[in-house]
Chain A
Amino acid sequence: GAVVSQHPSWVICKSGTSVKIECRSLDFQATTMFWYRQFPKQSLMLMATSNEGSKATYEQGVEKDKFLINHASLTLSTLTVTSAHPEDSSFYICSASPGRDSPLHFGNGTRLTVT
């Protein structure tokens, strides 16, 4: 079945540094990928829609300059948290679908801790 791989699964970084998270569709092409953020014991909040070859569409309240999204190929989208702060610590999850009539597949998430 369709698999979405996310890397790294966890990362610890110092405040002020940048962190890049990768989301890959391993056996299908995805023109659209979604990035979610999940705080402890809370639901997933959609951050942005990543579109291959074009700019990402950000949800209201999400800082574009802080959460940089690049969808350079049909199998890879990256989320870069720039100048990370402790409040950016969270669980980030990506998802992708082989097509509009196919279900979403989720990555296993990346736990980011900013110290």
Chain B
Amino acid sequence: AQSVTQLDSQVPVFEEAPVELRCNYSSSVSVYLFWYVQYPNQGLQLLLKYLSGSTLVKGINGFEAEFNKSQTSFHLRKPSVHISDTAEYFCAVSDEPAAGNKLTFGGGTRVLVKP
């Protein structure tokens, strides 16, 4: 069984400051990790994914994440946030590399960017 824990339910941050969203997972098999963003009353948009290879993954909108197998983590970072980054962020895991399969989501982290 897989599970995903997002340690912070809310993260307030000032505009142009860096942000890190924490994600830890547990799985008995190989994992494939994803970060999604959800804007109010909308579906989810893929930010980035780790399937294999380099543990540092770069995504859209200036986000990046680092896969750390020993710490079972996949934290999301952005060096300088914008007001438009205010949204809900979800970490997700799958036991198959193709994202076109079932995902297990974390509880989400709400990012509020303040001017």
Interface size class of A (residues with CB under 8 A): 20 to 34
State the interface size on chain B (CB cutoff 8 A).
23
Determine whether the beta carbon of A104 is less than 8 Å from that of B99.
Answer: yes
Determine whether the beta carbon of B107 is less than 8 Å from that of A109.
Answer: no
| Residue of chain B at shortest CB distance from A46 | B102
Bound form: Cα–Cα A107–B43 in Å: 5
Bound form: Cα–Cα A98–B98 in Å: 11
Determine whether the beta carbon of B100 is less than 8 Å from that of A99.
Answer: yes
List the B side residues contacting A104 at CB < 8 Å.
46, 99-100, 103
The total of Cβ contacts below 8 Å across the A-B interface reads 66
| Cβ-based interface call for A67 (8 A) | no
Bound form: Cα–Cα A97–B94 in Å: 14
| Cβ-based interface call for A32 (8 A) | yes
A17-69 CB contacts (< 8 Å) to partner B: 32, 34, 41-46, 49
Determine whether the beta carbon of B105 is less than 8 Å from that of A4.
Answer: no
Which A residues fall within an 8 A CB radius of B? 4, 6, 9, 32, 34, 41-46, 49, 91, 93, 95-104, 106-109, 111
Which B residues fall within an 8 A CB radius of A? 36, 41-46, 49, 90, 96-108, 110
